[in-house]
Chains A and B, each alone.
Chain A
């Protein structure tokens, strides 16, 4: 059996098992070693994506596929997971919890996400989702002495289990009514029977409901603000980036591959989810006083825009979604890296938006970076966050969804208000108690790189990144 196409997953799986042993035996002393080794593994896995893992086609009798689409998703996932490990390196060492298991859990989550983006059967899909989720539940409650973290983990677990159950129910209905778990077979069944079959339709709705939970699209978003607020900041940064990419890409593959003949059925669902996410994400963020909750609503809002690209469908729509998620991840990780620097003089993290007051005068560099990420998340030109929004709207307009585009773009105006509020607090208000001195050159460098990528200089990437996403999206069809 040729294992070369799953080389990245093998690297991560074997690596995580070895590192788990290291963590168990070395204990606290092993945490630095585990962190850097995990980062090396993730980078190695990213490099291993070139070649067969991005072109080998169907594997294991149609359980997985190694194509450009999956490889693109995995690249984003591995890199953002690596950033999440970098962020955590200084974070947990201050407490008595030790950080050695943290990178191991992230590696396992990364394997799960890899499976998600390359699944071509309902069972591998479910296995991938669960592998990622189980690691994520533990990560959310990683600061187990902190009540909020424990609460976040519990909430995430209970609601996540419910969503998994719904998804599994949908999968079983689809299997029962089509007799196959392969995406191809499901597609063939939909093409044959249409959406007249109540069983198929129910299966579709339940499957998509489960996926909507994973991408925190409205109306399955309830868990997001609580979990984002309660989880330790590096974990929140991970939740907002890699698993979201994995789930969105999984959604794209499911919708455009296995459910393609039922496009009219799932389009209605996605249009609703997209607009509801955009508006709820924009409106609910108004009253937030906690920056992490605000970013949670921001992520709900942004997923709505990505779904507009999915609604458009076709190679252009899929390419727009990929482009969107790539830029979104940079903006989000950048924003969370800035949030991580919000610490009082004892080094304890603070999360109240008020403490950002006057940051432009006390820490001009940090304020400029956070302002860049905020305005970019809002999609305001000339920042690069504008371009992916433009692409999804362009895809929607090309498919004739004019009113969807108009409502979506009006949502950006509503959302602009709360992003501007952060800029206002940092730039217009009088300085508050300054933060403790930032530490971590690596994080500082990452903030700078992310800020440059989403600055107007990012437009230089339109050509190369556009080519890559077009090719990746093309491999779906």
Chain B
């Protein structure tokens, strides 16, 4: 193990660079942000190679006492690691996507993004309950500014809705945290993860945490802030919102709700499944009816996140690993889809689907990459979407057949709205002259979308790279929640041996 405080560096570097950016010119801030995010990504790659998947649960641990009751405690397990990698991977792309699209108040914009990055990394690395809360809530302010300053026509409403919705969800979690600190006498997340709370208390604590994570996730019916925020946010804001911020909800469930309150989690399975099932069907249908591209993708996010909640509350390996993969995959794919929207929005300045059509004629490169991400979102085998959704559905089916059936309709509906979107934008005739005049992707845009496409295929073809770091941690989580695991309703019976074929071989 190394003694370099790598996690603190990952938090502090963008923070310092962000403050510096405020005093720079527009171009200086752009380059500063790009270099900082690329250096962070480099550190992230090093972190990935240095992380030992068979090592102790918590690695790169740092602990400095700040004062009574809170410590600068950092450390990651595999689950946090992959989410950090996702964040670090998306950040340079966000900066690149804003290179030309943002032309007013650039230094403040870049500073907001860099500070945002610091806070997101902080959420995934914090090992102190209150430190986690500070990072978790702290992210609201830069995002509020990003939506409110550089957003679309109804940015004010969207920024308030985003802020107050998430804040209202989270404050109850703070009270629950205080109760936990009182009962367990510690603020250390690893210690709390092994603490057995009284089941009747767990019930309340679980609900308080659920209020926060469900809003963040977002789950039906508290998802209504998301379409507004996505539609109004600038492209890079949408990417980071869909790519990372939504994952904080899933991370919260896996880090807090499941290991800290296993009995309560079990008791609430029907509730979570009901909300997730409604989300899959209802928001998919809503997505089908959208005429605004960003809104469609926003609703598809809600539907995809329902696969995560389905998977997490299965209490089995397939479900939880599948949920993790769905989160990673959705982070890449929805980010890429928002970028695809951004590409044509920058050219035509409208998100109306009907204003496009036939783009595969004049923008073949764009059509190809958009196709890749559409298929990944649908869950085509070979892309990242398939692996996660498949595992998550297998896990769900093992617990409840009905839930599995409802969840699977999401795949069909997902294919319907995504292919319908793709058809309306890329196929057909080039009827609009202004859409026909749009140039194909330039080099910068290829560099934004290309790496994500590579990631999508990597995760689809060799998911082991991403499952390996989380395997041991999912194992530990399963051990922890085993006592509350729900019995499945599928009863497997051994099949009767068929008549032995003449040349039977062992499979």
Interface of A toward B, CB cutoff 8 Å: 360-361, 364, 375, 380-382, 386, 390, 393-394, 397-398, 402, 405-406, 409-410, 412-413, 416-417, 420, 423-424, 427-428, 456, 459-467, 470
Contacts and interface: CB of A to CB of B under 8 A. Distances in A.
Nearest to A428: B148
B167 A397 contact: no
Contact of B156 (A360, A390, A428, A460): A428
A459 B108 CA distance: 24
B68 A462 contact: yes
Contacts of A463: 65-68
A424 B148 contact: yes
B229 interface: no
Contacts of B181: 394
Interface in B34-84: 65-70
Contacts of A390: 130, 174, 178
A150 to B, nearest CB: 39
Nearest to A389: B174
25 contacts: A381-B133, A382-B138, A386-B137, A393-B174, A393-B178, A394-B182, A402-B179, A406-B175, A409-B174, A410-B171, A413-B167, A416-B164, A416-B167, A420-B163, A424-B148, A427-B145, A427-B148, A427-B149, A428-B155, A428-B159, A462-B66, A462-B67, A463-B65, A467-B68, A470-B68
A463 B66 CA distance: 6
Nearest to B150: A428
B405 to A, nearest CB: 39
Contact of B164 (A361, A417, A470): A417
The 3 closest A-B pairs by CB, nearest first: A463-B67, A462-B67, A382-B138
B119 interface: yes
Contacts of B168: 410, 413
Contacts of B22: 364
Contacts of B159: 424, 428
A409 B69 CA distance: 20
Interface centre among A397, A412, A423, A462, by most chain B C-beta atoms within 10 angstroms, is A397
A380 B141 contact: yes
A393 B133 CA distance: 15
Chain B interface residue number, banded: 35 or more
B66 A402 contact: no
A398 to B, nearest CB: 6
Contacts of A423: 144
Interface in B170-222: 171-172, 174-175, 178-179, 181-182
A464 B119 CA distance: 25
A412 B171 contact: yes
Given A382-B135, A386-B134, A394 B68 contact: no
B172 A459 contact: no
A361 B108 CA distance: 10
B216 to A, nearest CB: 15
B117 to A, nearest CB: 14
Contact of A397 (B70, B138, B175): B175
B140 interface: yes
Contacts of A417: 160, 164
Nearest to A378: B167
B432 interface: no
Contacts of B134: 381-382, 386, 456
Given A361-B105, A381-B138, A413 B68 contact: no
A82 B96 CA distance: 50
Contact of A460 (B66, B130, B140): B66
A375 B66 contact: no
B72 to A, nearest CB: 9
Nearest to B181: A394
Contacts of B130: 390
A210 B182 CA distance: 35
Contacts of A405: 175, 178
A393 B175 contact: yes
Interface centre among B68, B70, B108, by most chain A C-beta atoms within 10 angstroms, is B68
A64 B172 CA distance: 42
